[in-house]
Chains A and B, each alone.
Chain A
Amino acid sequence: MSDDLIEIEIDGKSVQAKKGQMIIEATDTTSSYVPRFCYHSKLSIAANCRMCLVEVEKAPKPLPACATPVAAGMKIFTRSPYAIAAQKATMEFLLINHPLDCPICDQGGECELQDIAMGYGRGISRYNDNKRVVKDKNIGPLVSTDMTRCIHCTRCVRFGEEITGVQDLGTVMRGENMRIDTYVEKSIDHELSSNIIDLCPVGALNNKPYRYSARSWEMIQHETIAAHDCVGSNIYAHALRGTVKRVVPRENEAINETWISDRDRFSYEGIYSDERLMSPMIKKDDQWQEISWKDALIEIVEKLKVVENNSAAVLASPNSTLEEFYLLSRLSDELSISNIDHRLRMVDFTDQLNDPKIPLLGINIAEIENCKQIVVVGSDIRKEAPIIGHRIRKAALSGAQIGIINENINEYFFDVAVYLSESIIGNLLGLLSALNGEPPEEMRDIFKQIKPTKEQQKLAAILNSEDKKHFILGHLAINHPYASAIRLLSAKIAELTGAVLGFITEGSNAAGGHLMGVLPHRGFAGSSREIIGHSISEISENNLDLLLLFNAEPGKDIPNLSAEKLTDSLVIALTPYATENYKTTADIMLPIGTFAETSGTYINCEERWQSFSGIANPVGESRPGWKVLRAIGSLLGMSEFEFESSESVLDEISQRLKDTPMSNEINNFSLQNKINKKDLLDTHLVQSVPMYEVDSVLRHSASLQLTPEASRSDST
């Protein structure tokens, strides 16, 4: 037995437990279940519900298993008459003021109180006085409240204090008047806030959009992957007869632990938006008409067959599945189109030949919290990837020093050691200078004028250590007009300080887009192209004859591609939604499924492949994107394109990758664009995309659009 293990006895069975462990952690490794409400493995111990009282030999009273550390030789009885009596006593107290409204409570059927009451409650209450009633409060569009049901376990309060760092909820009053409250009427707005819905053991805090729309036992639980950032949080979607009713987290310690962002939880509402495109449409004499799938596909294939490859482009959402990317890539190869991309908001492509084959985080998501220094450049990390923001907060709480280099001042709920605002490039140059680094040749002149500020020197001093450190470039750095300069300077600083350089990419599958060759300069698996295709900016300037848009909305997903620039082009849009932008710019619209209506695979920012199956019935006549692409390919007469399922596409991808090994070493970045000295150090060169605007599904999620976060986005 190793030093930190001790022998204890649980219900007569000898068990090994770790020193300092609480009894409940030890019993959870055995078949002895101790009932609990306030205890949660991710939160601090409160010991306030008193449900987990157990008998411990020689103890004068029953002890709470959640707050009593094990000791060598301890004899614990979780089911002795003494322990059961204590647990039943607590149950009776919890129930006297709890309303008997289970039949109309959304928590019914999945309620911890209901479940445990079955085992420990009485059939008939001995309480015949008036029950407590607590006024509900409005805490925003995402979480409903029925505070009369509250059993005061304070999980939600501790979640705010410990996980998000925003103490929105607390307890006010005392004794039986104690209640969970925001004190001042307000909504709870943190990007992870809605996790309190899952934490609440009763029906006090519930899912507002889902309210009264299904019972938990009627639904089927499907494993799937969240589709709005590069984290790939594991989720369950609960579907009632093929309609997604809600989304809850699926525990995965390596990625999202037990949390998901509000964005991942409520985006499903977008599936059922009124703006969904219900059938294929074609524009005839400026009028949209319904058309059959068959006719639409024939129409498209006719156009594709005759278009000149140099005058056609394919633009796909970074949220497309790996399979969709692959089929798009093969279609474009078949038609010799190299004007293909998924990096829809990028501006600076000058150094793209030196791009890493797959832009990744550089370390695993779970490793972030072990870093001692983390520098986040050009990123509103909390909004771009909430789970990564949470991991960084955990690192900060355990003592890591966090540096932020960003034009905008964003709010963080942990100590930021150094916050360098204003020009990102100016700050990186200052930091490089403070580290006594050499500037790139092209920036020598500007560098000479740079004197590191005190703050820059402070960050340099922090980075001057042997510890494990991480340098993260976010969306604003990637979409910056001088992105290549930022990347080059960051790489130099990372090299000087021994930090790992990583990227937070847009969408859920940018890694997949890169790997499948949905890029103008590279093909499948990083192979180089003979002809380098147009960049997005060139595509939008050049009035191409034909554009195939795959869930990429002009003006929204592709900010630089406005309607005016598309008047002369034939635009084929494969899209779940028929928005105004599509209606004015497109000529043919084909309805494709959202993330919930298709099967597929996402590669997350740590190169983790996660496949999922379709969980929702298709809305209207929409079809999974890969099936539509497969049909187009078949009609074009492509060989070996008869895929039966997304799995068969995935099999082919895996096989081909096995045949063509690829290294993902990061090249030496360079500076190809002419540095315009005038605006290099300017700020406001790039706009951040509001959190609930980043993709088409989110833009149609009704409840998310009601949040203060969404109204903030409108004003900017």
Chain B
Amino acid sequence: MKSIPENLVCFNTFEADKPWTYETYRKHGGYDAWDRILKGELSPEQVIEEVKASGLRGRGGAGFPTGLKWSFMPRLQPIQKYLVCNSDESEPGTCHDREVLRKNPHALIEGMAIAAYAMGATIAYNYIRGEFMEEPIPRFELAVKEAYEHKLLGKNIQSSNIDLELHTFVGAGAYICGEETALLESLEGKQGKPRFKPPFPANFGLYGKPTTINNTQSLASVPSIIRNGAKWFKDIGVENSGGTAQFSVSGHIERPGNYELPMGTSFKELLELCGGVLGGAKLKAVIPGGSSVPVMPAETILGCTMDYDSLQKAGSSFGTGAVIVMDETTCMVKVLRRIARFYMAESCGQCTPCREGTGWLYRMLTRIIEGQGELEDLTKLVEIANKIEGHTICALGDAAAWPVQSFLKHFHHEFEYMVNNKGRSIVSIDDEVTV
């Protein structure tokens, strides 16, 4: 098997001694792109075209083409515009934005600067989840300070007529604040409750002004794209999925961790790179993109490459690239209950189907595990999930519904077994799997 290139984009400073410093970043070609922009060598249109051509898609989970998103901003309107970076990384299983903040914060700063320039935003916020207080936030703030010191941010930067003020905002640790409009509400100092759309943030965003929200990894990929060209980036990946992806591999795996690999790497290669299933056990299922995307049975995922199209065709989604590996000892009912509990706890409570439905799902699953379930509960679970999906203000409702639908689709026999056996699991392990 050919060797897979690692750490090409966001993690490209990682092998250095102190990868987070300004000097290290410079050594890796950092701020070259920003320097060119400050010298007036690149117009905003060129930047947007370059990002469009690179095939970069939003890494926050939805996979919307980043360049296209940028082009929605009313760039020429003479009003305040904002760029917001979503570092509220909280999808269960996902922890790679944290790595970017810890080890390559300057890539994010440069990416934010380039994005803000392309869209005419003069104020940028990085919304970082509160749990990152210990290491990622101080690292990022230090990097911002360095960038200001090196006159890469501020008013009329290096007499280029480009302004950019960059601020860090620390969230209080709510999953829902990763939803872009809830994030904006939170940033405005309100309760993190998603807004209904339309209007979209590109028209009515932060403080009612045009705003673009991008994921940490999306923005941190931008400097490499401008520096090396769109083609370079696109060619790393595969058709419709340009560049690299960061996989946070967790669960029953020999070497869990974050891996930056080209888009389109096959699951088998990824598994091999991580040392295989823990203890050489048999693979049962994988959640390929964070807890909200549909689960995939082993036989399906083993034939997939890790990119948007392949996973979608196989009935799941690329999501955030958080690969949760489960071996044959895993009880799928318990896993689903754990996931359902998460969405019940994280629902903002604003709209009815999610507020009432997530708790209902959790309680039914609990009942099944406690041996009180009935066979009709299994149909009911899917029906309720269907009633939540697509009926809510934001995608949290969908995120709560998809696992239920997919677990019951692929592992119906496990649920049935448990109902028929008064709560005994089809696998012999009693401990709940930690997801």
Contacts and interface: CB of A to CB of B under 8 A. Distances in A.
Contacts of B174: 174
A129 B356 contact: no
Contacts of A69: 198
Given A48-B351, A86-B391, A176-B355, 13 more contacts: A50-B351, A89-B353, A90-B353, A93-B356, A96-B360, A97-B356, A129-B363, A174-B174, A174-B349, A175-B347, A175-B349, A176-B344, A176-B347
A566 B363 CA distance: 76
A53 B387 CA distance: 12
Nearest to B191: A171
Interface string A73-92: 00000000000001001101
Interface string B161-185: 0000000000000101000000000
Contacts of A67: 196
Sort chain B's interface into a size bin: 20 to 34
Contacts of B191: 171, 174
Nearest to B355: A176
A62 B347 CA distance: 20
Nearest to A130: B363
B345 interface: yes
A518 to B, nearest CB: 54
Given A50-B353, A69-B198, A127-B360, A90 B391 contact: yes
A123 interface: no
A126 B356 CA distance: 13
Contacts of B36: none
A382 interface: no
Interface string A152-179: 1000000000000000000101111110
B353 A93 contact: yes
Q: Point out which of A69, A151, A177 has the most chain B C-beta atoms below 10 A from its C-beta.
A: A177
Dominant secondary structure at the B interface: helix
Given A173-B349, A174-B348, A50 B390 contact: no
A113 to B, nearest CB: 12
A463 interface: no
A87 to B, nearest CB: 10
A201 B335 CA distance: 39
B358 interface: yes
Interface string A22-48: 000000000000000000000001111
Contacts of B46: none
Contact of A129 (B352, B357, B364, B393): B364
Q: Point out which of B346, B351, B363 has the most chain A C-beta atoms below 10 A from its C-beta.
A: B351
Interface string A322-339: 000000000000000000
Nearest to B367: A129
Contacts of B346: 174-175
A117 to B, nearest CB: 13
Contacts of A51: 352
A96 B356 contact: yes
A61 B390 contact: yes
A175 B198 contact: no
A53 B351 CA distance: 12
A121 interface: no
A92 B391 contact: no
B349 A89 contact: no
A60 interface: yes
Contacts of A92: 387
15 contacts: A45-B196, A49-B352, A50-B391, A61-B391, A62-B391, A67-B196, A89-B391, A96-B356, A129-B364, A129-B367, A152-B349, A152-B355, A171-B349, A175-B349, A175-B359
A362 to B, nearest CB: 36
A50 B349 CA distance: 13
A64 interface: yes
Contacts of B363: 129-130
Interface of B: 174, 176, 191, 196, 198, 344-353, 355-360, 363-364, 367, 380, 387, 390-393
Nearest to B176: A174
A48 B350 contact: yes
A300 interface: no
Contacts of A366: none
A298 interface: no
Contacts of B392: 50
Given A60-B390, A171-B191, A175-B346, A47 B351 contact: yes
B393 A47 contact: yes
B349 A47 contact: no
A74 to B, nearest CB: 14
A175 B174 CA distance: 12
B168 to A, nearest CB: 24
A62 B353 contact: no
Contact of A62 (B176, B364, B390): B390
Nearest to A154: B350
Contacts of A48: 350-352, 393
A212 to B, nearest CB: 29
Contacts of B356: 93-94, 96-97, 176
Nearest to A151: B352
Contacts of B352: 48-51, 90, 93-94, 151-152
The 5 closest A-B pairs by CB, nearest first: A178-B349, A61-B390, A89-B387, A93-B356, A175-B347
A127 B367 CA distance: 12
Nearest to B196: A47
A216 to B, nearest CB: 25
A97 B176 CA distance: 23
B395 to A, nearest CB: 11
Nearest to A69: B198
Contacts of A46: 196
B347 A174 contact: yes
B364 to A, nearest CB: 7
A624 B348 CA distance: 57
Contacts of B198: 69
Contacts of A126: 380
A78 to B, nearest CB: 16
Contacts of A173: 349
Contacts of A96: 356, 360
A176 B358 contact: yes
Interface in A51-70: 51, 53, 60-62, 64, 67, 69
Nearest to B358: A175
Contact of B344 (A60, A151, A175, A178): A175
Nearest to A129: B363
Contacts of A64: 196
Contacts of B348: 174-175, 178
B300 to A, nearest CB: 25
A175 B392 CA distance: 13
A96 B355 CA distance: 11
Interface string A102-139: 00000000000000000000000011011000000000
Contacts of A130: 363
B359 A176 contact: yes
A50 B348 CA distance: 15
Interface string A172-214: 0111111000000000000000000000000000000000000
Contacts of B196: 45-47, 64, 67
A189 B392 CA distance: 34
